[in-house]
Amino acid sequence: MNKKYILVTGAAGFIGYFTCKRLINEKNNVIGIDNINSYYDVNLKNTRIKDLKNTSFKNGNNLEFIKLNLEDNFKLNKVFDKYRPEIVIHLAAQAGVRYSLINPKAYIDSNILGFFNILECCRNFGVNHLLYASSSSVYGGNKKLPFCETDSVDSPSSLYAATKKSNEIIANSYSHLFDIPMTGMRFFTVYGPLGRPDMAPMIFADAIMNNKPIKIFNYGKMKRDFTFIDDIVECIIRCSLKTPTKDLILENFPNQSLNLNAPHKILNFGNSSPIQLMDFVEILERALNKKAIKEYLPIQQGDVEETEASVKNLQKWIDFIPKTTLKEGIQIFAEWFIRYTKNEA
Report whether pLDDT(17) > 90.
yes
Q: Find out whether 13 and 7 touch, Cβ atoms under 8 Å.
A: no
Report whether pLDDT(256) > 60.
no
pLDDT of residue 283: 98
pLDDT of residue 301: 80
Report whether pLDDT(108) > 50.
yes
Q: Find out whether 223 and 276 touch, Cβ atoms under 8 Å.
A: yes
Q: Find out whether 210 and 216 touch, Cβ atoms under 8 Å.
A: no
- Rounded to 5 degrees, what are φ and ψ at 261? 55, 45
Report whether pLDDT(253) > 60.
no
Confidence of residue 84 (pLDDT cuts 50, 70, 90): very high
Report whether pLDDT(249) > 90.
no
Superfamily of domain 5-190+227-272+307-323: NAD(P)-binding Rossmann-like Domain (3.40.50.720)
Known catalytic residues? 160
Closest by CA to 194, choosing from 292, 72, 332, 91, is 332
pLDDT of residue 248: 65
What contacts 303, CB < 8 A, 6 or more positions away? 97, 157, 217, 218, 222
Report whether pLDDT(172) > 90.
yes
DSSP string, 157-169: SSHHHHHHHHHHH
Whole-number percent of the chain with pLDDT over 70: 95
d(CA 340, CA 344): 6
Q: Tell me: the pLDDT tens digits for 291-312?
A: 999 999 998 887 888 999 999 9
* Mean pLDDT, residues 148-169: 93
Report whether pLDDT(186) > 90.
yes
Tell me, yes or no, if the pTM score tops 0.85: yes
Q: Is 339 exposed, middle or buried (0-12, 13-18, 19+ CB in 10 A)?
A: exposed
Report whether pLDDT(193) > 60.
yes
Sign, Cα dihedral of 281, 194, 304, 295: positive
Mean pLDDT lowest among 69-78, 108-117, 189-198, 241-250: 241-250
* Mean pLDDT, residues 189-203: 95
Residues β-bridged to residue 135 = 187
